[in-house]
Amino acid sequence: MNKPIVQFQDLGRIRYKEAWDYQTSLHQGIIAQKLENRKKPEEERVPTANHLLFCEHDPVFTLGKSGHESNLLISRDLLSSKGIDFHEINRGGDITYHGPGQLTGYPIFDLENFFTDIGKYLRLMEASIIQVLALYGLQGERIDGLTGVWLDAQHPTKARKIAAIGVHSSRWVTMHGFGFNITADLSPFSLIVPCGIRDKGVTSLHLEVDGVDFETVKNQVRAAFAEQYNFEERG
């Protein structure tokens, strides 16, 4: 069986709303193609596309559809004065922060080109980050019931999240994705209860090891995704 083809784009630094609108347009385009294909005999169907977008965002808090605004610890007016955007969005999960030094990734995959299993999709996203952390001598881990990647996951006072994950899927087409702190300023996290979890901290790769280069790590994550999801990249 041929590997799925994934179109890769690095959007650079971009405001959240602009990236959200772009990934929404790609997501809706894939769904529209799937619906059109259903009207055609199999030999006339057009293969659906898959995309992987990387970016860094200007400072922003995003609140997932199952989140609680009470986990935002300051008023929205004060957010504006600090230059931080706020958006309520349709991914799973609670509130999180995106900003410079954090690699944000948006896989917009038609999972029918891969496998129809959201749980597996999430685990492979975590595995991609875990694979990169191992290159730096760090043991990335999962915590049962909590999506994302953690360090010292089983230690009650040391557990800290290094990558947050929140996704949305419609007709097996995914959007949203992960935020991996690489050289991120973590001070904005003090303004929220990250992911609604009060008893665990957050961290960034540059605080765990010396000599972290953002572009190098970005390329390592890109390669890990292709390996974990077993796709062929175009870009």
216 Cβ contact partners less than 8 Å away, ≥ 6 residues apart:
none
Q: Respond yes or no: is residue 195 known to be catalytic.
A: yes
Beta carbons of 161 and 201 less than 8 angstroms apart = yes
Q: Residue 182, Cα to own-chain centre: how many angstroms?
A: 13
Q: What's the sign of the alpha-carbon dihedral 183, 189, 190, 194? A: negative
Q: Where are the alpha helices (DSSP H) in 156-197?
A: none
**What is the C-alpha separation between 172 and 111, in angstroms, rounded?**
5
Q: Which of 195, 202, 221, 224 is catalytic?
A: 195
> How large is the C-alpha radius of gyration of the chain?
18
The single-letter DSSP state of residue 93 is S
Q: Which residues are catalytic?
A: 195
